[in-house]
Amino acid sequence: MATRTAHSRGERTRRAILDGSYRLMIRQGFAATSMREIAAQSHVALGGIYNHFNGKEDIFRAIIEERHPFLQVLPVLRAVEGDTAEEFVHNAAGTLVEQLRRHPDFLNLMLIEIVEFKARHVPALFGKVLPLASPFAPRLASLQGSMRDVPPLVLVRAFLGMFFSYYITEVLIGRAMPPAMSANAMDHFVDIFLHGILEEERP
């Protein structure tokens, strides 16, 4: 019983460190966050942090492996409905973008990983991300509408890349966009994803 209580207390402390670190790093970045700030934010003694993590990067690695946006968004896409490829992609894209809008911290976390770490922690995520991403392409292939022979994981990569970029351009230049650039933009992105930008050649 005592061992179980100690284990539970240790897990609560570890969780407090991760949650406190996440709040700080999302707000001010990795390099600008000190271990002393993490200790204060987590209500844990500075030396106590080292009972759970080797250092600040070890904490960030744990955050990335637990909270990377792909790990949060891909499970939500499983519930997307649609009888045709057009309906499904439109609904999936809308769901993805809405999740990103509701959680702006997702983008902050990705940028910290990309800018401050050159994305070196991401390869270790693939073991977790791949099982979440793999069902997406077969689901799309099973819908009404003929599909080109595109490798399934390339299809997933293209979808995530295209609609993450849709959201990122909204964040970067949304307020400055002229109406012609923003009107029905999601519909156009979906159409380009499904059909490309070249007109179909007629015999």
In sequence order, what are the beta bridge partners of 84?
144
Q: Verify that 59 and 82 share a domain, yes or no.
A: no
Domain's final residue, options 11, 35, 63: 63
The reported pLDDT for the residue numbered 93 is 95
Domain's final residue, options 14, 41, 63: 63
> What is the number of other CB atoms lying within 10 angstroms of the CB of residue 3?
7
- CATH number assigned to the domain comprising residue 44: 1.10.10.60
Helix and strand numbers, DSSP H then E, in the chain? 13, 0
Task: Tell me the three state secondary structure of residue 184.
Answer: coil
φ/ψ of 34, rounded to 5, equals: -100, 160
**pLDDT < 70 stretches in the chain:** 1-7, 144, 200-203
Q: Verify that 11 and 92 share a domain, yes or no.
A: no
**Structural domain includes residue 203:** no
**Structural domain includes residue 150:** yes
**Structural domain includes residue 202:** no
pTM of the model: 0.85
Q: Verify that 186 and 98 share a domain, yes or no.
A: yes
85: amino acid identity, one letter: A
The reported pLDDT for the residue numbered 67 is 93
**Structural domain includes residue 151:** yes
Q: Verify that 119 and 27 share a domain, yes or no.
A: no
The reported pLDDT for the residue numbered 153 is 84
Cβ–Cβ < 8 Å for 156, 133: yes
Domain's final residue, options 19, 35, 63: 63
Which of 56, 69, 64 lies closest to 124 in space, CA to CA? 64
- Residue 20 DSSP one-character state: H
The structural domain count of the chain equals 2
**Structural domain includes residue 201:** no
The reported pLDDT for the residue numbered 137 is 78
- CA angle 131/68/153 to nearest 5° reads 35
Q: Verify that 82 and 160 share a domain, yes or no.
A: yes
**Structural domain includes residue 128:** yes
The reported pLDDT for the residue numbered 85 is 87
The reported pLDDT for the residue numbered 80 is 92
- Residue 68 DSSP one-character state: -
- Domain interval for residue 47: 2-63
**Structural domain includes residue 183:** yes
The reported pLDDT for the residue numbered 3 is 55
Rounded alpha-carbon distances, angstroms, from residue 26 to 76, 90, 103, 157, 174? 22, 30, 11, 25, 22
